[in-house]
Structure 1
């Protein structure tokens, strides 16, 4: 692992692999740079891949530095691009990573970006009477307050329940059955410091990037799970309609992490998107 220091002094860890034009990969909430490990062999054949642990993530202590808000992580991304002198970047964001990219575009524009890939995310997580494309198609302020209380009471179990009791019936069944994969996730979540992650969640649920989508002026690839735990296929199509030049892929039979369920397809389609001439 390498690292750089953000402009508030926070140490941000980055794994760097391969040679060629840059790809920056931004993981989801509670995850780390390891989320992207399965794709390294395919991507590093032609590209230099930067995979960070967002502040407050990856087991790295945040200390007294600023909380991992969407705004702060977007600034961290700009600091990363500055530190490694990166331009013409392909940026890939899953879940929280997509929100970070939308915040980055709001704050810094697209001048340093050449292509974007957003994986299974809505531009506004909370729903209301005028917005049905957030979490579950029905996750309002009241449910957000309830979720926050659960996170503070038992962080790991709250995260698992958020994932299990959504739109994916298979996830619900596996959770209730105590499947081994859920047990591993529970152990991993319990090993993390919940405070910074709870603060991060509060920032993400407060965000609204609907106004950013139609300002994206570089080619964008969208990947959504047909059986996402959180978002309907209608959400995917809505986002695709709002972003100019967007190409939408729906991965059949997959959840909120479609790239993990169909890894070879994702790597192939991402490479074709980045290098269409090959």
Structure 2
């Protein structure tokens, strides 16, 4: 275990395991660095794995200043993690909020990315649902503040795209919910307001995303309704992307279906490192086939 210093003077908690090409895991809003345990155990057999707690998530620092929380700072924090670990380029694996951070990191620092895994992206990702997502995020922030994590955590953990996990693996879901109940309520509220509610819709970034050459794997659960259209948008926009849809699966992908998730991402990384994950063949443009 170690820490990374952010550009603005905060400390981020890191955990590391394994040797080989580096893989950095970026957690979702309802998780933290512990959420990646099934991946650390599997990936560390062949990769150097780093998971960290975002700012606002103990044991990382919890800034009291609302201005400390933003999508831009999430990108800067990921860069600080790479710097602290002495890593020039890494495979970046992100879920939900972490998937947005990974994607924005790829846009800001394409030279630091070997590949991007973008999973569960996500509610409010497109302009059509952005206002509703912003309002839902602000309401959730208020509930974390008024009820506290111990009371509101179980409610949040049983959302429409989380019950799939609860039904498949009640014990695993309970551990996930218990961990959420331990979150710092101030950090959760400020993250919801500054990172979640304020992030830009991805379809307003279609031009830069279309120029992002990094190999990308997009993963969504087919019962994570808010992630379906964004997943298709990203597949159609990112030039070197593949799309995996996990059946009968919700939002908490890496915990709900760890074997399928691990297998897909490990195979993807292996293909990238072998040089066989390439941009889409321009002949596969989706146009109507012309018969000779």
TM-score when normalising by structure 2 = 0.78
For residue 269 of structure 1, what is the aligned residue in structure 2? 264
Among candidates 128, 132, 139, match of residue 132 of structure 2: 139
Distance in 2 (alpha carbons) for counterparts of 1:158 and 1:213: 35
**2:17 is the alignment partner of 1:20:** no
Q: Any stretches of 5+ residues in structure 2 without a counterpart?
A: 277-292
In the TM superposition, what is the alpha-carbon distance from 1:159 to its structure 2 partner?
Answer: 5.0
**Does 1:241 find its partner at 2:233?**
no
Q: Between Structure 1 and Structure 2, how many residues are aligned?
A: 264
Single out whichever of 162-171 and 26-35 deviates more from structure 2: 162-171
In the alignment, the residues of structure 1 paired with residue 48 and residue 164 of structure 2 have an alpha-carbon distance, to the nearest angstrom, of 36
Tell whether 2:124 aligns with 1:125.
yes
**Distance 1:198-1:109 versus aligned 2 partners, 3 A rule:** same
Contact 2:221-2:253 at 8 Å conserved across structures? yes
Deviation digits for residues 80-129 of structure 1 (CA, Å, limit 9, x no counterpart): 222222123100001111111233234x331111111011113x7277xx
Q: Which moved more, 1:158-167 or 1:113-122?
A: 158-167
Deviation per CA, 1:232-277, whole angstroms, max 9, x where unpaired? 5333212211221110000111110222222122212111111124
Corresponding residue SS for 1:114: strand
* Distance change >3 Å, CA 165–CA 258, structure 1 → 2: closer
Cα deviation, residue 131, structure 1: 1.1
Distance 2:49 2:147 in 1: 35
Name the residue aligned to 1:206. Answer: 198
Deviation per CA, 1:182-239: give whole Å up to 9, x if none.
66555433332211221111121211133053232111001111112x5253332122
Q: CA deviation at 1:14?
A: 0.8
Provide closer, same or farther for how the CA distance between residues 217 and 159 of structure 1 changes in structure 2, counting only shifts above 3 A.
Answer: farther
3-state SS of paired residue (1:221): strand
Cα separation, partners in 2 of 1:78 and 1:180, compared to 1, 3 Å: closer
How far, CA to CA, are the matches of 1:181 and 1:265 in structure 2? 16
* Residue of structure 2 equivalent to 1:194: 185
Q: Distance in 1 between matches of 2:30 and 2:104?
A: 18
CA contact (8 A) 2:96 2:121 kept: yes
User: What is the match of residue 152 of structure 1?
Assistant: 145
Offset, 1:25: 0.7
User: 1:222·1:249 contact (CA, 8 Å) conserved in 2?
Assistant: yes
Distance in 2 separating the partners of 1:168 and 1:33? 19
Cα distance in 2 for partners of 1:186, 1:110 equals: 35
Q: Indicate conservation of the 8 Å contact 2:157/2:177, yes or no.
A: no
Identify the residue that residue 289 of structure 2 maps to in structure 1. Answer: none
Equivalent position SS for 1:111: helix
The answer (yes or no) to whether the contact 1:120–1:224 under 8 Å persists in 2 is yes
**Correspondent of 1:227 among 223, 226, 230:** 223
Given the superposition, is the C-alpha separation of residues 187 and 199 from structure 1 closer, same or farther in structure 2, using an over 3 Å criterion? same
